[in-house]
Structure 1
Amino acid sequence: MSDPLLFEDTFTVTGVNSQKYDRVSRLSCTSSDSLTTFTLDINSELYPCSAGESLSMALASTLSLDGKDESGAKGGWREVGMGEQTLANDYDYVCHGKVYRFEEGSTAGNMAVFVSFGGLLLYLEGPYKKLAPLKIDNVYLLLKK
């Protein structure tokens, strides 16, 4: 089949804002090559992060290791069978969300992608070539330290 990963990069957490909500933090991160940035709301109770930490972030179309489409009739996440190996096994924090908007980036040749994970938002900005594969409806966010 195809590669399930649409985007993958390593980022450094440049800021953590935990002031607005009790269990939600807004992370600001910059990629190791400084071309891509993201702002992400995460459940800080489940996945605490602090400034200076390194995160590996991936966005995938499916959790299936072979890239097989799992969306079914409704186009959402699926139940995983007991003992079944998926992409999620390699990561610490996994969310399923909907890509809801694209914009021109703040600099020429960049684009911005907006994703909602049930109200927790992701704003990802970077080179068009790196983010163009995200022009789909649903994605999985995968994070690990």
Structure 2
Amino acid sequence: MSDAQLFEDTFTVTSVNSQKYDRVSRISCTSTDNLTTFTLDVNSELYPCAVGESLSLALASTLSLDGKNEDASGAGRTGWRDVGMGENTLANEYDYVCHGKVYRFEEGSTAGNMSVFVSFGGLLLHIDGPYNKLVPLRIDYIYLLLKK
């Protein structure tokens, strides 16, 4: 994991629910070690998922490969959209990227676990896992990165 990445793991899609909205599916996934689970709303037109697929999930504080915050880069960038032509970022390595706000923490489903809740413009993430793996997520804003 680079300095920018706060969490990274491989998951298997255990369920896909696309009944409530036309272009949004709620996927539920379990990590390969069965310690971490997440539920995520994804734009199913942009990133369709099926039960049994394997996904790599990363949560990062910045897309900068050197781990520097976008606002502190000194390059005059004001956010993730101000990427120059040919400039490599963490997003280049993933298929689906969102930026969102961490809005709640709770005790997890089992002892020693914690739950983190993030909103990506209304698309929600709930991740539950060991405290020591998820404690770096105690920041205001994060990037979600997915690839198959």
TM bucket normalised to smaller: over 0.9
In the alignment of these two chains, the number of paired residues is: 142
Alignment of 1:106 onto 2:109: yes
Match of 2:134 in 1: 131
Compute the displacement of 1:82 (Å): 1.1
Compute the displacement of 1:138 (Å): 0.5
Alignment of 1:144 onto 2:144: no
Q: Deviations over 1:46-72 (max 9, x none)?
A: 000000000000000000000011146
Q: What letter is aligned with 2:97?
A: V
Match of 2:61 in 1: 61
Distance 1:71 1:112 in 2: 28
Q: What letter is aligned with 1:103?
A: E
Contact 1:94 1:143 in 2 (8 A): yes
Q: What letter is aligned with 2:48?
A: P
Alignment of 1:41 onto 2:44: no
Q: Which runs of 5+ in 2 are unaligned?
A: 73-77
Q: Deviations over 1:91-128 (max 9, x none)?
A: 00000000000000010000000000000000000000
Deviation >3 Å, runs of 4+: 75-78
- TM value normalised by structure 1: 0.95
SS at match of 2:133: helix
Match of 2:5 in 1: 5
SS at match of 1:132: helix
Percent identity at matched positions?
Answer: 82
- TM value normalised by structure 2: 0.93
Contact 1:71 1:77 in 2 (8 A): no
Distance 1:89 1:57 in 2: 14
Q: Which runs of 5+ in 1 are unaligned?
A: none
Q: Among residues 89, 95, 100, which one is paired with 1:97 in the alignment?
A: 100
